[in-house]
């Protein structure tokens, strides 16, 4: 399958990125996250966390939502990325990079931080991210975070 190049305006592709939060089908996005797979999400919590974010990005193919990402940012020094995911059939086409870079560009933080899903570190390393030696987190559900491989 050929790679999608979102930088080519002439590319005859129905795939596009969009920042409009008012017309998102949240149940369809929940399904994308579940299939990605990023686990089951509560629709209200997912919607509210996107609405409370500094910058959001949604990927569509035709009229169908196929991916998303969001960022918190002070728009000066730091951007933190969350919930970057694509439906499996749209992974590996350059969309993950496109969403991430769109969020970074619009969020405006000089530095970017995120925690990778276990096993996805090589994707971020490939895009220039480096493993943090002193990252610390206080998870709301510490046992779950440990079971999912986020903490020791």
Ligand X SMILES: CC(C)(COP(=O)(O)OP(=O)(O)OC[C@H]1O[C@@H](n2cnc3c(N)ncnc32)[C@H](O)[C@@H]1OP(=O)(O)O)[C@@H](O)C(=O)NCCC(=O)NCCS
Chosen residue from 38, 105, 110, 144 binding ligand X by CB under 6 A: 38
**Counting contacts by CB under 6 A, is residue 97 touching ligand X?**
yes
Binding track, positions 66-85, relative to ligand X; x by CB under 6 A: ------------------xx
**Spatial distance between the Cα atoms of 132 and 150, rounded to a whole number of angstroms:** 13
Q: Least Å distance between CB 16 and ligand X?
A: 14
36 binds ligand X (CB under 6 A): yes
Rounded to a whole number of angstroms, the minimum distance from the CB of residue 94 to ligand X is 5
Listed ranges 6-14, 19-27, 120-128, 129-137: which one lies at the site for ligand X (CB under 6 A): 120-128
120 binds ligand X (CB under 6 A): yes
**What kind and span of H or E run contains 95?**
helix 95-107
Q: Which of 29, 60, 61, 96: binder of ligand X (CB under 6 A)?
A: 96
Best CA proximity match to 118, nearest among 34, 35, 37? 37
CA distance 106 to 95: 16
Q: What are phi and psi of 121, to 5 degrees?
A: -55, -40
**Residues whose CB falls within 8 Å of the CB of residue 109, separated by 6 or more in sequence, listed in order:** 73, 74, 75, 76, 77, 78, 79
């Amino acid at each position: 399958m050929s790679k999608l190049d979102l930088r080519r305006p002439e590319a005859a592709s129905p795939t596009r990125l969009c920042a409009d939060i008012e017309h998102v089908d949240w149940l369809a996005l929940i399904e994308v996250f579940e299939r990605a797979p990023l686990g089951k999400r509560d629709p209200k919590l997912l919607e509210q966390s996107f609405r409370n974010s500094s910058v959001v990005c949604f990927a569509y193919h035709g009229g169908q939502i196929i991916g998303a990402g969001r960022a918190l940012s002070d728009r000066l020094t730091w951007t933190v990325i969350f919930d970057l995911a694509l439906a499996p059939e749209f992974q590996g086409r350059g969309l993950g990079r496109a969403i991430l870079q769109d969020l970074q560009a619009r969020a405006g933080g000089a530095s970017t931080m995120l925690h990778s899903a276990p096993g996805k570190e090589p994707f971020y390393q490939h895009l220039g991210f480096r493993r943090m030696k002193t990252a610390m987190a206080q998870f709301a559900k510490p046992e779950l975070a440990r079971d999912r491989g986020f903490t020791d």
